[in-house]
Structure 1
């Protein structure tokens, strides 16, 4: 960069979306520059031009010291409108610094999320590709479990993440925006906003799709973004026009891009995003106060109580359909819950069967002992997952009905075949042994059907 007596020359890389920067050189008459706005080490400068479209220069320096020296060399000409806007911005930031200089809660929330994630990684959940079943054990918002009585998952899921990329993106957005939002609302109101938006996001996620295994801070973060938007747009809060435009544009871009991306890709819980956003808009409107000493000096307990009561009422209304699902939804949830339990139970049953077969082949037990142990120890281990799946009340019209019937054939076939083997040995009946073989074949065919159904769902 060179600033001469009559011109301003700048060399550098122009940023290009989704591509490498392009090296460029520009030269402007010094008297064509006006309305120099500096923010830290970044500059925004207007340029006089014959074109109808306004021209401006945006660049950043390596340090604030360099920025200060450059600012002293640039023209000081300002239009009345620009000077007024800059004065209002300066007053706004001075009021913010004076009334709410720090944002401790944001950093505490980030620390809690990072500690939980570190503990999850140590516990074997996975750093990059998290095991969803293990994430459930840490408190994710999985419909069959949450709506099955584990309502605490609505809250704990706000601090659980699916891998390092997931938590890194969420914590970056929270760090970038949360500090400003906490200072605008105050720490206590910020907590109310964050928790209410997170809970609302979790509930809407279940109402949207109760079979999704959901986790992450994004619902609460969308609520903070909604709170920020409603704060700056409310004239009562006396936010300068330039600050309103900056945050309005950035928040709308953030919301629009993320919702579009969520609808265009699988595995993203837009229900939680939308629920958190709407909750943040509503709660932010109720909790916002003008940024002046008089308003902040008032306790305003009634307004906080009204916001808290309204939030509790809204959560209660959303809770009703979750606690009273339709018969179809309840059957699906029972089946999904059974699937979660049956996986480990199936492994236990298979291992018990294999261990007993190994003992028999090694001659460690007699034929009679083998039959008795089959009946008393192994068969009940197949009975347990069968009863879990059979308890789910699904009808032929339910999408999971074919899978349920295939699983009942598989689990029932394994159970029945082992029971028949035990009875055939006890009675020395070859006909029962043949029936056992038929049950084993049917169970194998059912297992193939299960694999086909699961493959088709992916």
Structure 2
């Protein structure tokens, strides 16, 4: 084919199908998301609205945990969805965009592009909402459409003009409509959408095949820009404060157990309260999390201090603190189940008393003997 002549639409389509005859990566990603959702829905007993607590337990991008030492959630959250409609819409969009993107970029590069866009989208979500929970493949899907847009913009000398015009117009309409819907409909994570979209545009332009020179430099520059974007957002996240205690009178193992357990339980409780307020968690599911995770956690911590050596004078105080946190949660569940505001007032009073108790304990500076 002469270098100066653009291919016809038929030649362009034939070349893409010859390049990747079977779109195994797109079909595989759609199947993986569908199977994981089926298992998730069966585990939760919910098809249309999977509780937020279950999504967090299965690896959702709960920002506090993700940034606090569990970065694998940046990937696992891409394969979790909150309901049948959610997963269906995302997989329909993935299949529509993926079958073209996979043929343009080849299967292996498409998988890498998809995951890279999804990870940066998850990082953007953590940066935007440092205490939020996000799930779903939409950030990665936006990246797929962004990559196609980047490809069309840089490969105009290798695509039939009419094909390029139709692609560009369709991509811009889809992206614009989806972003507008994200801003107008509450609960949609537009930070992830924008992060995935920008990453896709950069990588799509960098990986675009065709007759343009400087392909290696485009790939290096594109990869560097994505790393800088993701790293900058990650470093700019405001982390949740961890309790810092001066507990010279406690053995090191008990100090570590207190700070780690308290951080985990308090973080989980804050998430439950936020999810209840935001409608991500039903009162029934909230009570279940409190009764099966938080209350047993405080009870276990109290028992650990009960078993401390007799000479550790602070142990009894911290045991009382842990039990009072448990009693505050018990009163909270009674208030949630009965609707009686007196239980909620008691819960607040017990929690305030426990926090005052721990503050007083941490003011004491014990000099070593």
| TM-score, length-scaled by structure 1 | 0.54
Quote the Cα distance in structure 2 between the aligned partners of 1:413 and 1:180: 61
Aligned to 1:315: 230
Aligned to 2:187: 267
Write out per-residue CA displacement over residues 53-87 of structure 1, whole angstroms, 9 at most, x where no aligned residue: xxxxxxxxxxxxxxxxxxxxxxxxxxxxxxx99x7
Quote the Cα distance in structure 2 between the aligned partners of 1:410 and 1:173: 50
CA RMSD of aligned residues (A): 4.0
The answer to whether the 8 A contact 1:262-1:268 is kept is yes
Write out per-residue CA displacement over residues 333-390 of structure 1, whole angstroms, 9 at most, x where no aligned residue: 99654424796685369999xxxxxxxxxxxxxxxxxxxxxx9999843345879xxx
Quote the Cα distance in structure 2 between the aligned partners of 1:349 and 1:221: 34
Q: Which structure 2 residues correspond to residues 14-413 of structure 1 after superposition, within 5 A?
A: 88-124=8-44, 126-235=46-155, 238-290=158-210, 304=219, 307-322=222-237, 325=239, 336-340=267-271, 346-347=290-291, 380-383=322-325, 408-412=348-352
Shift in Å at residue 209 of structure 1? 1.8
Aligned length: 285
Closer/same/farther in 2, CA of residues 170 and 116 from structure 1, 3 Å limit? same
Quote the Cα distance in structure 2 between the aligned partners of 1:272 and 1:108: 23
Write out per-residue CA displacement over residues 114-134 of structure 1, whole angstroms, 9 at most, x where no aligned residue: 111111012125210111111
Write out per-residue CA displacement over residues 228-276 of structure 1, whole angstroms, 9 at most, x where no aligned residue: 0111122455111111121111111111111111111101111111110
Shift in Å at residue 212 of structure 1? 2.5
Quote the Cα distance in structure 2 between the aligned partners of 1:157 and 1:350: 23
Closer/same/farther in 2, CA of residues 383 and 110 from structure 1, 3 Å limit? same
Closer/same/farther in 2, CA of residues 149 and 261 from structure 1, 3 Å limit? same
Unaligned runs of 5+ in 2: 243-262, 274-285, 297-316, 330-344, 357-369
Shift in Å at residue 141 of structure 1? 0.9
SS of 1:123's equivalent in the other structure is helix
The answer to whether the 8 A contact 2:130-2:240 is kept is no
Shift in Å at residue 320 of structure 1? 1.1
The answer to whether the 8 A contact 2:203-2:219 is kept is no
Quote the Cα distance in structure 2 between the aligned partners of 1:415 and 1:212: 24
Q: Which has the higher strand share?
A: 1
Shift in Å at residue 101 of structure 1? 2.1
The answer to whether the 8 A contact 1:227-1:285 is kept is yes
Quote the Cα distance in structure 1 between the aligned partners of 2:116 and 2:97: 18
Quote the Cα distance in structure 1 between the aligned partners of 2:226 and 2:58: 26
| TM-score, length-scaled by structure 2 | 0.66
The answer to whether the 8 A contact 1:144-1:337 is kept is no
Closer/same/farther in 2, CA of residues 249 and 336 from structure 1, 3 Å limit? farther
Relative contact order, higher structure (CA 8 A, sep 6+): 2
Write out per-residue CA displacement over residues 25-71 of structure 1, whole angstroms, 9 at most, x where no aligned residue: xxxxxxxxxxxxxxxxxxxxxxxxxxxxxxxxxxxxxxxxxxxxxxx
Q: Which has the higher helix share?
A: 2
Closer/same/farther in 2, CA of residues 93 and 348 from structure 1, 3 Å limit? closer
SS of 1:158's equivalent in the other structure is helix
Closer/same/farther in 2, CA of residues 381 and 410 from structure 1, 3 Å limit? closer
The answer to whether the 8 A contact 1:386-1:412 is kept is no
Closer/same/farther in 2, CA of residues 147 and 350 from structure 1, 3 Å limit? closer
Shift in Å at residue 317 of structure 1? 2.4
* Range moving further from structure 2, 237-246 or 102-111: 237-246
Write out per-residue CA displacement over residues 287-325 of structure 1, whole angstroms, 9 at most, x where no aligned residue: 111189xx9xxxx77765654454334322222113x54
Shift in Å at residue 90 of structure 1? 1.2
Shift in Å at residue 153 of structure 1? 0.8
Quote the Cα distance in structure 2 between the aligned partners of 1:351 and 1:228: 50
Quote the Cα distance in structure 1 between the aligned partners of 2:63 and 2:16: 42
The answer to whether the 8 A contact 1:238-1:291 is kept is yes
